[in-house]
Structure 1
Amino acid sequence: MPLHFAPRAAILPLLLATAFCAKADPLPPSLDQPYPGTIRMKIDASDTARNIFRVQETIPVKPGKLTLLYPQWVTAQHGPTGALHQLAGLKVTANGKAVPWKRDPLNVYAFQIDVPKGAQAVEVEYQHLSPTEGGQGRIAVTPDILGIQWQSMTMYPAGYHTRRIPIQTTLTLPAGWQYGTALETARRTGDQIEFKTTDLETFIDSPLFAGRYYKQFDLDPGAKVPVRLNVVADSAEALDAKPEQIELHRALIKQAYKLFNSQHYTHYDFLFALSDEFGGVGREHHQSSENGVKSNYFTEWSKTEAVRTLLPHEFTHSWNGKFRRPKGQDVPDFNSPLDNSLLWVYEGQTQYWGQVLASRSGLVKLSSVRDMIAATAATYANVQGRSWRPVVDTTNDPIISQRRPQVWPNWQRSEDYYAEGALIWLDVDTKIRELSGDKRSLDDFARGFFGVDDGVNVAKHYTFDDVVKALTAVQPFDWAPFLKKKVEEVGPAPLDGLARAGWKLVYTDTQTEFLKGIEEQSKTANFQFSLGFSVGSDGKIVGIVWDGLGFKAGLSGNTTLLAVNGRAYKPELLRAAVTKAKTDSKPIDLLVKHGNDYRTVSLDYHGGLKYPRLERIAGTPDRLEAILQPVK
């Protein structure tokens, strides 16, 4: 039968086979040599009414084939999360004439261009369409604040290490707005800021926050190496920080220097957004960090203690994650895959030091940090996914799930290398203290590992063996199998460090004041350790423990709790029902709505409320208090 008469069903496999045989055009090898010229970029960020950034780039080129790349692998996000879907309106010209572009169908972050003869540069125009509502992504532009992550604005030529590509950027802000960034400013003319030329890697790693309401605080007065807190907010009132609050942030800088005994930046800029509209964020950079919390950070100080570990965490990253980086993060550009297998060091130890520095600086009370550790220990003691998935495999999660919501997180596990990693490093710290008769600690490791090459701000990469070698130099011990067992094997949560610190995890029927305050702020109710789930502010049942009591009763996602024992649900009503059931043989009846179906679920539970806290082990040294005390 002639092909043009063939049935569609017969042709389809042939077409599919042809399509799937397509190959991505190979990218030119990335060369570690200077790029011949400087990229000139202009960004108009003044359209905050529609959250549109307009970008123009002038890229020096030679005639012939050119591949432009849009960043795919975002280092601080640990995965291929580049916001390519927010790029629009791409146009390329050379010598004033339009030049066609073609996207590689199998590498959609690569754009192929044939540069015409005689052209010395291509002009590239496009828009970055920042989300206008939460369902589209994190809100980075409000009427009063904007945040710029340069990787979302940038296209660059393939074939060169990004650290060898010079770029000079000019930014137009809304009228009268002020800004903070680690980039060096050459000059400001009205609302147009011209930044000094730098390399593309440093540029991408130096985001910017700008706002209508802005204030900068000097966190290390008189120092040769400045540290600045650049605050933008929803209102002028939100910027009203009391002197004693700023002194606690200054204490953070002092305690970090005592811990790491070094600086690896020419200056450091905290970018800090206080907003109920701007999306929350915590993201590390070598000479700065992006931080976003609610607008009441300063004005309702007693209610914001739980979020005050954010700045210590991100500041620690300047040493751990940015100066000292895992070897698998040593890539030539932003389109080469990252090896995340050492994130339990990169993020896990940073999580640990973030809590330690929060306590040592006084930003968070010692007792509150102890409560945070109790909550973490209880959480991971009840993560059922531990039975099949080791913590090292969760370092792949930023690539696998890209931080999308999971169906059964207690079973699937998420990025547990953060908080569980902190428990592992508590284990290491207390082991060093125990073996050395409390003469040495993880502080000594921090000074030896992160404190080298003081003043150098070029990344120094490490391997697992380097970590083991540095630990052994502090305290002789067989560290490799010790760490591998905790990271690579499935099994119980790593709580040995707690016992060695002189504390144990217990459950009582009353919450600590700190954890109670977190519930009140979030308007959630935690029944994880009794009924096997929590209840969100809207009555949604969340955080269901796999194979826990609620799970076995048939509860799942998309379920709303409507009533408890025949009365409309309120958190205090369910707490009272759980307490009453301790001395009452009747089950607890829950009326729930799952999708469009209503049903009653009976929970035959009589164990009472259970909330985690730490309890001292009599007759043991209190190493946890020693860890969390300020260094003199």
Structure 2
Amino acid sequence: MSKFRPSAALPLLALLPLSIALAQSPATTAPSLAEAVSPQGALVDSAYPGTMTLTVDATDVARRVLHVSQQIPVQAGPITLLFPKWIPGKHRPDGPINKLAGLGVSANGQPLVWRRDPLDVYAFKLEVPAGVSALDVQFDMLTPTASDEGRVVMTHDMLNVQWGTVALYPAGYHAGNIPVTPSLVLPAGWQAGTALELQRREGDTLRYGTVSFEVLQDSPVYAGRHFKRVDLDPGAEIPVMLDIVADAPKYLETEDEQVDKHRELVDQAYKLFDSQHFDHYDFLLSLSDRMGGQGLEHHRSSENGVKPGYFSDWDDHVAARDLLPHEFVHSWNGKFRRPAGLATPNFHVPMQDSLLWVYEGQTQYWGMVLAARSGLWEKDDALGALALVASTYATDRPGLEWRNVQDTTYDPIISMRRPQPYRSYQLSEDYYNAGALIWLAVDARLRELSNGRRSLDDFASAFFGVDDGSWEVKPYVFADVVAALDAIEPDGDWSTFLRSRLDANAPPLDGLAASGWKLVYTDAPSDYHKGVLSSRKAADYTASLGMVVSKKDAEVGSVRWDGPAFNAGIAPGATLLAVNGYAFDTDLLDDAIRAGKKDGTPIELVVRHGEVVKTVQLDYREGLKYPHLQRIEGTRDRLGEILQPL
């Protein structure tokens, strides 16, 4: 998702409280077109009369403002112009309408009065006078100047243009039936990557071919002063490119071995899905501390934002190397095959998120698997990542006592990814990693029932690989998923198997043992875990004291509900000032935990939270605990088979 997706590694940050009932089973039939009605009324499934033009001037990087000019063909009478609200891949109504300013509409040189719909603030209503055939629309998109205002998309050296944030469109029509011809004006000398077809470049103005408004929204641009394009499938009829923008030229430097692993990713994905649902594909990748991180899928491209050292400090960024596999998988799972409730006709029809455990959960699973199969991860990296995911559900999700995985598919709408205080108790978008564990269990069961002859690879090929060469969206419902699994292995009772895990108030951990592995804890983190903690500058006591602490300022980032730290009165946002009478340091806390295990000595912490400073004691005696996966003797290593390259 959309989205910067939750990491496969550590859910370090907590989110806001939720108060909703447990989910009902999702619909097994697709909503009809008649049910998919916009708040602005029924939609006309016919071509819009005329072609919009759209020009975005992105040269004002100093003030981080995008200047927008549109011409919209119209006929006399009332018209409603919409700002995109439900953005595909984000699964929630969060189009940044609050950042639109200076809206002006005119016709034949005369200004027209517009009025916002008081019940739908994304809708602008106006009357088109007789004799007018086109509206001229201008506005500014005031992009964030700091991260607390939202994701930063413009810096001195790069920008990310998401077309759905810089255009209005006429209500009443399917987005796929509204043609638009876009242009983009860049700062002098900048280069750009996008899935759009460039017709010509006039100086620093890029003129793209006419596409539908739906395709335009699905074709963002990454542009920058420091730009590099890498061919990931040399000589192929269907090109796959890696378009990189960076904070400085040195971050663009790549080694042959690094490029080869990304090329192997493409090859392994093709072998998995046995199809291509695009005529070309662009990985858009920003290497930046200044532009916001990102992971957002599109049909023929993906937006990916990581730290600048992704290539230059390769060994330190292992935890970021399942991002591109995840987003690439979405071209098949999420874009081509899409839950019917998410295959909406325009960006105003509300989305239904109940199948995100397939859309995101299976993509999370394949993202980890393909990272290993391609060599972007070593096998031990994949085991370390999966150990962290498993440990999360073994120790850090007491919220599953009152919610279930199915219910978390509504979290994008409920919490809108706002920070929450107790994620372990509230849960938040657990359909990603819990979903991945469910699909591990499915994969292991397929392999067991077929004695290794069939696997989830067969489902991927059969379900997502149909209609090779087509990129027309093919929706699905729960019954379609079950039918596809039944066709591969009829004895799986797949509806019961899936629902018993999705609807249960228990963690879906049985896939580990079925794969020949078990979760264990030692007093030292895995190399993968160390890499995650190094990049986040954090100390992870989740499985022991039940908290995560910043090494930079000793702030408590998350606290496990009903864990030792929680029961001692420590809350997220607190600062640890001292441990056992000495100024706080995570090394000292490690020593104190070891001493508690050895001789039972309580741990004394001085804690500040806001204006309150207090001393608390933690009577904890189980030592440091970090998750690892260990083979179960005498069992078949199905997980090892899953991670093997095809």
**Which band: TM-score by shorter chain?**
over 0.9
C-alpha deviation, 1:584, in angstroms: 2.1
TM-score normalised according to structure 1 size: 0.95
* CA displacement at 1:490 relative to structure 2: 1.3
Q: CA deviation at 1:517?
A: 2.3
Q: Distance in 2 between matches of 1:557 and 1:362?
A: 37
Most deviating of 319-328 and 575-584: 575-584
Residue number among 256, 261, 270 corresponding to 1:248 in the alignment: 261
Are residues 275 and 26 of structure 1, via their aligned partners in 2, closer, same or farther at CA, if it must alter by over 3 Å? closer
Provide Cα deviations, 1:73-121, integer angstroms capped at 9, x if missing partner.
0111110010000000000101110100000111000100101111001
Residue of structure 2 equivalent to 1:474: 488
1:135 alignment partner in structure 2? 148
1:416 aligns with 2:404: no
Q: Which runs of 4+ in 1 moved over 4 A?
A: none
User: What is the match of residue 606 of structure 1?
Assistant: 621
Q: Give the whole-Å Cα distance in 2 for the aligned partners of 1:481 and 1:610.
A: 35
| SS of residue matched to 1:302 | helix
| 1:560-594 C-alpha deviation (Å, 9 max, x unpaired) | 01111011111111111100111223210000001
> What does 1:359-508 align with in structure 2 at a 5 Å threshold?
359-382=372-395, 383-476=397-490, 477-491=492-506, 493-508=507-522
User: Alignment length, in residue pairs?
Assistant: 606
Per the alignment, residue 87 of structure 1 pairs with 100
**How far apart, in 2, do the equivalents of 1:350 and 1:27 lie?**
33
CA–CA separation in structure 2 for the residues paired with 1:232 and 1:618: 47
- Is structure 2 residue 524 aligned with structure 1 residue 510? yes
* Offset of residue 520 of structure 1: 2.0
Q: Per-residue deviation at 1:510?
A: 1.5
CA-to-partner distance for each residue in 1:489-540, whole Å, 9 max, x for gaps? 212x111110011000011112112212221221101111111111123211
1:175 equivalent among 177, 188, 193: 188
Q: SS of the counterpart of 1:73? A: coil
CA distance in 2, matches of 1:26, 1:576: 59
Q: What letter matches 2:570 in structure 1?
A: L
Partners of 2:566 and 2:39 lie apart in 1 by 49
Report the identity percentage.
Answer: 53
Give, in angstroms, the shift of residue 28 of structure 1: 4.0
Q: TM-score, normalised by structure 2?
A: 0.93
Alignment equivalent of 1:619, drawn from 634, 637, 641: 634
Q: Contact 2:559/2:566 (CA < 8 Å) preserved in 1?
A: yes
Q: How does 1:176-191 map to 2 (within 5 A)?
A: 176-191=189-204
Tell me the distance in 1 between the aligned counterparts of 2:534 and 2:270.
35
2:430 match: secondary structure = coil
Letter in 2 for 1:572: D
Q: Give the Cα–Cα distance (whole angstroms) in 1 for the partners of residues 535 and 489 of structure 2.
A: 43
Structure 1 residue 414: Cα displacement: 0.3
Q: Following TM superposition, by how much is the alpha carbon of 1:26 offset from its aligned partner in structure 2, in angstroms?
A: 6.3
Q: Assess if the C-alpha contact under 8 Å between 2:53 and 2:182 holds in 1.
A: yes
Q: Pairwise mapping of residues 289-308 of structure 1 onto structure 2 (< 5 A)? A: 289-308=302-321
5+ residue gaps, structure 2: 1-37
Which residues of 2 match residues 70-219 of structure 1 at below 5 A?
Answer: 70-219=83-232
Q: Matched residues in 1 for 2:155 and 2:525: separation?
A: 37
Deviations 1:278-321, CA, capped at 9 Å, x for gaps: 10000000000000001101111111111000000000000000
Q: Distance in 2 between matches of 1:482 and 1:129?
A: 48
Residues 267-346 of structure 1 mapped to structure 2, 5 A cutoff:
267-346=280-359
- Deviation of residue 550 (structure 1)? 1.0
Residues in 2 aligned to 1:589 and 1:553: alpha-carbon distance in whole angstroms: 10
Residue 628, structure 1, aligned to residue 613, structure 2: no
Q: Secondary structure at the match of 2:576?
A: strand
User: Once superposed, what is the RMSD of the aligned Cα atoms?
Assistant: 0.9
User: What letter is aligned with 1:152?
Assistant: T
What is the CA distance between 1:558 and its match in structure 2?
Answer: 2.6
Distance in 1 between the 2:111 and 2:387 partners? 62
Structure 1 residue 557, shift from structure 2 partner: 2.4
2:52–2:72 contact (8 Å) kept in structure 1: yes
Secondary structure in 2 matching 1:619: coil
Question: What pairs up with 1:58-69 in 2 under 5 angstroms?
Answer: 58-69=71-82
Equivalent position of 1:584 in the other structure: 599
Q: Deviations over 1:445-477 (max 9, x none)?
A: 001001110000110000100000000111112
Output the CA distance in 2 between the equivalents of 1:553 and 1:424.
34
2:384–2:527 Cα contact (<8 Å) kept:
no
Distance 2:336 2:40 in 1: 29
C-alpha distance after superposition, 1:333-358 (max 9, x if no partner): 00110000000000000000000000
Q: Partners of 1:149 and 1:490 in 2: how far apart?
A: 39
Q: What letter corresponds to residue 595 of structure 2 in structure 1?
A: K
2:31 equivalent in structure 1: none
3-state SS, counterpart of residue 45 of structure 1: strand
State yes or no: 1:562 paired with 2:577.
yes
What SS does the corresponding residue of 1:625 show, helix, strand or coil?
Answer: helix
Instruction: Give the aligned residue type for 2:468.
Output: D
Q: Among 555, 564, 567, which residue is 1:549 paired with?
A: 564
Measure the CA separation in 2 of the matches of 1:27 and 1:498: 48
Deviates more, 1:297-306 or 1:309-318: 297-306
Structure 2 CA distance, aligned partners of 1:585 and 1:160? 69
Higher-Rg member (1/2): 1
* Conserved 8 A contact 2:444-2:514: yes
